[in-house]
Amino acid sequence: MAALGRLSLRSALTQSRRQISAAPAAHGGQSAKTWKILSFLVALPGVGVCMLNTYLKEQSHDHEQPEFVPYAHLRIRSKRFPWGDGNKSLFHNAHVNALPDGYEGHDE
């Protein structure tokens, strides 16, 4: 009788394992294939088109320095920055970012 109990328990566990392992393959297999196809046919070409667009716009962009206007509410330095000479921000770009008294390298 004990052998019969073990046999039925093993067969029940084996059957439930098969059902559990078979369920994701039936449902997830098709959706994974769909997303893989969408990634290669839609997402990657979309990224390529965006990169091309950005590159072409950058090539036609004029790199002129904006005019310096000494507005009182801009470039306020109430406390020195803790790096460099204390007047330039951490990501300072001398061509685009003006200091409180004007752009660097310009004698006006």
The per-residue DSSP string of 31-81 comes to HHHHHHHHIIIIIHHHHHHHHHHHHHHHHT---PPPPP---TTSS--SS--
The pTM assigned to this predicted structure is 0.42
Q: Please state, in angstroms and rounded to a whole number, the distance separating the CA atoms of residues 18 and 80.
A: 68
Q: What is the average pLDDT value for the chain, to the nearest integer?
A: 80
Q: What angle do CA 38, 40, 41 make, to 5 degrees?
A: 65
- In DSSP terms, which residues pair with 68 in a beta bridge? none
Query: pLDDT tens for residues 9-56?
Result: 667 767 766 666 555 555 677 888 999 999 999 999 999 999 999 999
**How much is the pLDDT for 106?**
59
Q: Which pLDDT score is estimated for 50? A: 97
Instruction: State mean pLDDT over 75-83.
Output: 86
Q: What are phi and psi of 99, to 5 degrees?
A: -90, 175
What proportion of the chain, given as a percentage, has pLDDT over 70? 76
Q: Quick one: tokens of 28?
A: 């997830």
